[in-house]
Structure formats: structure tokens, C-alpha cells
Chain A
Amino acid sequence: MIRYAARADKSIAVVFRVMVIPFAMILVSSIFSNASGEGKAPGRIDLTGLYENIGAKQVKKNVLPYSPQYPLWSDGAQKRRWFYLPPGKQIDAGNPDLWVFPSGTKIWKEFSFNGHRTETRMIEVLRDGNIRFSTYQWNEREDQAILAPESGGRGVVEIQAGIRHDIPGVRDCRACHVGEKADILGFSALQLSTVRDPEAPYAEPLEANDVTLESLIANRKIRQFPVEWIKYPPRIEARTSSAKSALGYLHANCGNCHNHNNNLGSANMLLRHGVAPEDNAEAALLTTVNISAGKYRIPGISLEDSYLIYAGDPERSAIYTRMATRNPYQQMPPLGTKIIDEKAVRLLRHWIKEDLPEQSAFFTGNKEIYDTKTERR
């Protein structure tokens, strides 16, 4: 009898070891996972780690503001941006044009129209390296923002007579942000450089607390970056101020899709200004100026007369005409905007008409800035 009892005890122990322990481990890990925000996206903005006090709109101390020197046009929205890097972690700039952010990194962007908060978008790098996109829609009192549906929200607020703003769905987020590698946009070497373009459209002056490339380097928050960035922060070198601003504008508004990391077939122009030693600083010009628009015909003119950019003639330049329309099937960018950026249209028009025919070379190539075997830190 005792022998049987002993055997039964042993069986229970085996069952416990085989079934209960793994189950308990899964349970603990799932609780831990939810606690660290890895499950579903938080349902409210105050649960995302942005605010110390949402009522006072006081942001947490370890969440820092930043301001790209070439902001993306978002129909005139007033935007504020914040960045959080987990303690002890670093951004990997091994690819200077495509930084890799450690898990736990969070970025928020708040959109206001006519002085009222409308939405705050959040990007979070998860433990497996994947990126989660969430958008929070502010209530009328602006004291709380609720997680928007995955499909986004259509026409949530009027931003101009007859034009209403859409909250993007996750599918739209993916369209812009996910290239060959998941990509955090607007937080890069050129955008955070302390050498700012004073004529960049809509750029805001740097505030003392803003994250910059310089502060990331000084605080050892970034590694594997080209050492030249310390003495020579990235910038666009151009002969005229309008050429510089135009190329910066194209970098921020077009280069997130039109770059080396995306295969866009005949529209494979390289409008992202690369900051790696091996990048050709003239790539934007070499892949667009006086180059056929391929199978794209500019409305009102022939296919043969349609160019990506035609030096001296904005009307034969698809990049210009597509910026200057909001025909939903012609416009560029194809999403995220319903209102033409008139300031940028004037800038591009001037650059194409006045600057381009006069100049043959614009840049000091990156090769002249970097040594061939550039040192990394």
C-alpha cells in the first residue's frame, strides 16, 4: 500500500513537472508581457508613458522633445514630437541612413489644427524588433486621448472650409514607415543635425531641451556612427539657399519612399539625402533632373515631354506638378495630405525654373567630407 502511495506521489510530481510548471511559466510570462506593454497597445494616451500629468500636459522627465529641421507637411498641422530611449540602450547607426532603435524605444507626434489637439501618434519598438503603430484621438476637452480603431478615422475635424482631417489607419502607417526595414522617420542624422537650414519651410528653432545628433553623441545614446559627425554634422551642401531647402524638402516629404530601400520601379528616384560615406550626395539630382517620367504622363502634356524634373520648366516636371495637385490619384505624397503646400510649391518652382538651368554641380560630395575608411564610434 505504502509502495503504491509512493508511486502515486512520484506520478503526481512528474505530472506537475511536465504540465503545471510550463503552464505557470507561460502564465507568468504573459502577465509580465502585458505589464511591459507588449500585449495590445494601451487604450489611452496617459498609459503610454508620455505624460507625468496629463491634466497639466506635463511630459515625463525621461521623454525628450525633438524637432526635425525639415518637417513633413501635414496640411498645416502644428506638431510636437517626443522621444524615449530605455535606460542603458543605444541607437545603432551602423547604417548611417537607417538607424536601428532598441526595443522599448517610443516616439510620439502630436497633431493640432487651429490650436486644438486632434491626435497623437505613437511608434513603439517591440521586443522582437517589430514596430507597433498606434494613434490616439483627443476628446473635445483635450483632457484624454483614446486609442483609435485600426482602420483609423475619417473626417474627424474640419481643418479648412470643406476639408476634414483623417486619422490614418495602421495600413496607412505601414505604407509610409515600413521599407525594407521598419523605419522611424524624421529622427535621423540630417534631421537632428545642429547645423540647421535657416530657410527650411516650417522649421522651428531648436529649444534647449531638444534631442539633437550632438546630444545623442555626447550622452552616448548612439553608437557606430561616422566619427566625422562630431566635427562636421550632416547637412545638405548646395550652391544656393533655395536649392538646399528644396532638396531638404524633397528629403523629408518624398525621400521616405523614394530611396535605396524601396523598389518603386520606374519611380525609383533617390530623394532621401544619404549621410553615409558611400552615399552619393548628388543622388537626388542624378536620378531626377532631365530624366523621363517613364510611363507617367503629366496631365495636359505628352508622355515624351513628361520628365521627373526638367531644368527650367516646372510644368514639365512631374515632381513639381504632382506636388501642386490634390487630385487624389495624381498627388504626391499620395497620403497624409489634402491641402497643397503652397510655400513648398513656390520654393520648388523657383528652384527648378531659376536655379537648375544655371548650375551644373551643387554639392561637395560626401567623399570629400569623409575619409575612405571612416572611423566609427
Chain B
Amino acid sequence: MKFAKTIWVIILVMVSVALAGTLASLFAGPPSKMVKRGEYMVTAGGCGDCHTPMKMGSAGPEPDMSLSLSGHPESLVMPPVPKLPPGPWMGIFSASMTAWSGPWGVSFSANITPDKTTGLGMWTEKTFIDAIRNGRIQGKGRPMLPPMPFPAMARLTDSDLKAIYAYLKSVPKISNKVPAPVAPGEK
């Protein structure tokens, strides 16, 4: 009788564990699917083209994946922007492809890893969506600058933007303080 009771307890524990595992996977399922979709969108959308600095490789410039999505490197202090002669040329960009100069001044690609101090760590999902929709830092601050394609991104659905946010929150944090943009004429 006691043996049978023990067997029943074991079965009950096993069923509970299995049930808990199923429930856990059910709960873990949607975010993971969302993160995967976000990864697909960030990769296909070429976010890394500007937010991951380029380094010189054996076959030419290539993204430095050790600094993936961390923006313009803090250590790369840019010299003054060379002056372009009058003519149809309008802008210049750095070899890292993270510093951009044009009529708007100089812009630096942002750190979009989830680092709390220097990246998107403090941003909520809503802050991120507002930023893209309004074209402003944190949705309310200074304007986003070229070449950030926010007008195109603003046309994404909420679920697409949520997926991108979920993926960006899942990538490794990198502490890298990107310099503030420089206004035209500012030194």
C-alpha cells in the first residue's frame, strides 16, 4: 500500500514537472519567436550597416562583430571634417561608416545594444516605437539625423517594431558612449 502511494507520488511529481516544462515552453515560445523575427528584420534591414563599425579585413572593409550594433566607437575621435569644394558632392562618411557629415552637421551612429548607460537599456518598448514613429530620440528629444532611415521605418507595423525592440534587447550589452552630434558650424 505504502509502495503504491510512493509510486503515485512519483508519477504526480513527474506529471507536474512535465506540465511545468510545457507551460514554461509555451510562455517562452512567443518572445523567442518575436526575437527571431526581430533578428530577421534587423539583419535584412541592414541596421548593422551603420550601427556596427567597419574594420579593414583581408578582403576590404567588414563589420567588426565584436562591436556589433554598438555604434560609433567612443575611442575613435574624429578629426575636423574636411571641407568639400563647391559642387554636387554633399556628404562625407568615416571609414568605420559610423560618422556622417553633411548639411545637418556631423552625426554618429547610436549604440543600440541594451547597455543601460550608453545604449537602449533604459528604453521601454513604447519609447522605442515612439522614437521611430516621431523621428526623435526617445520619441520626444532631439531629431534623428541622416542617414537614419526613420521615415521608412515609421511605416512598419507595431508588431514589427516590437519584434525589432525585442531582438535589440536580447543582443549582448556593449558599453560605448557615442559622441553627441555636432551642429552645422559648431566646433
Contacts and interface: CB of A to CB of B under 8 A. Distances in A.
A329 interface: yes
B180 to A, nearest CB: 6
Contacts of B143: 328, 334-335
Interface residues on B, range: 20 to 34
Contacts of A328: 142-143, 183
Interface in A299-351: 327-330, 334-335
A266 B105 contact: no
A178 B143 CA distance: 16
Given A263-B123, A266-B122, A257 B180 contact: no
B94 interface: no
Interface string A255-286: 00100001111110000000000000000000
B141 A330 contact: no
A56 interface: no
A327 B130 CA distance: 23
B142 A257 contact: no
A175 interface: yes
A263 B120 CA distance: 12
A265 B121 CA distance: 8
A267 to B, nearest CB: 8
A221 interface: no
B32 interface: no
Interface in A163-180: 171-172, 174-176, 178, 180
Contacts of A40: none
B136 A334 contact: yes
A196 to B, nearest CB: 28
Interface range, A side: 20 to 34
A334 B177 contact: no
A330 B180 contact: yes
A263 B127 CA distance: 7
Nearest to A296: B180
Nearest to B127: A263
Given A327-B183, A329-B181, A334 B133 contact: no
Contacts of A327: 183, 186
A61 interface: no
Nearest to A331: B142
Given A329-B105, A334-B143, A295 B138 contact: no
Contacts of B130: 174-175, 178
A300 to B, nearest CB: 11
A264 B138 contact: yes
Interface in A139-182: 171-172, 174-176, 178, 180
Contacts of A264: 127, 138, 140-141
Given A327-B186, A329-B105, A266 B117 contact: yes
Nearest to B117: A295
A334 B142 contact: yes
Minimum-distance CB pairs A-B, first 5: A265-B122, A175-B134, A329-B181, A257-B140, A334-B142
Given A265-B138, A295-B117, 6 more contacts: A180-B126, A263-B123, A263-B124, A263-B138, A264-B141, A334-B143
Interface of A: 171-172, 174-176, 178, 180, 257, 262-267, 294-295, 297, 327-330, 334-335
29 contacts: A171-B133, A171-B134, A171-B154, A174-B133, A174-B134, A175-B134, A175-B140, A178-B130, A180-B126, A263-B122, A263-B123, A263-B124, A264-B127, A264-B138, A265-B123, A265-B127, A267-B138, A267-B141, A295-B118, A295-B177, A297-B180, A328-B143, A329-B142, A329-B183, A330-B142, A330-B180, A334-B140, A334-B142, A335-B143
